[in-house]
Amino acid sequence: MTSKWPTLPSGAVDWQKVFQHPETGLTANVERADTPEKLKACMHVVIDALFSRDSDADVRRDFLASINELFTGKKTSLNAKKTKINMLLNRIMHDRQYRAQKYLEMQAKKQAGETNQRMDEDDPLKALEEI
């Protein structure tokens, strides 16, 4: 399966680029919205894309409710809405970066453990000790 997101050499998603690429980043798309309706629609697409797995349903629903709340009730300017949305996107980006780093660290530890296990199995002195 190929990722729909840009990746780093490690194979992890490049969340910095996903969010902050000046032409294609999510933040750039938010900035291009010139009406509250377009901004709201843009954020629905973004949230659906970021939280697309079945297991994300509750998180997706909560984010969409927050977005909908931002666009109802108290009147705020388009720029104020964009500021709040950009703060939200930054939190999501940092969370994704943190989780990706932790996952890579876990994979490296797991791989190192498997490598050490193989090295122990191949050690002839250790094999002699077991006889």
In a domain, 105, yes or no: no
Give the confidence band of 116 by pLDDT, cuts at 50, 70, 90: low
In a domain, 120, yes or no: no
In a domain, 2, yes or no: no
Q: What is the pLDDT of residues 47-97, one digit of tens each?
A: 999 999 899 899 999 999 999 999 987 788 999 999 999 999 999 999 889
pLDDT for the residue numbered 103 = 86
Burial (Cβ within 10 Å: 0-12, 13-18, ≥19) of residue 20: middle
Give the range of the structural domain holding residue 61, as residue numbers without chain letter.
Answer: 15-96
pLDDT for the residue numbered 15 = 94
* Total structural domains within the chain: 1
**Residues constituting the chain:** 131
Q: Is the pLDDT confidence value at 119 over 70?
A: no
> What are the b/e assignments for 111-130, b being 16+ CB within 10 Å?
eeeeeeeeeeeeeeeeeeee
Q: What is the pLDDT of residues 6-60, one digit of tens each?
A: 998 888 899 999 999 999 999 999 999 999 999 999 999 999 999 998 998 999 9
In a domain, 78, yes or no: yes
Report how far residue 5's alpha carbon sits from residue 68's, in angstroms, rounded to the nearest whole number. Answer: 26
Helix, coil or strand: residue 13: strand
Report how far residue 49's alpha carbon sits from residue 70's, in angstroms, rounded to the nearest whole number. Answer: 19
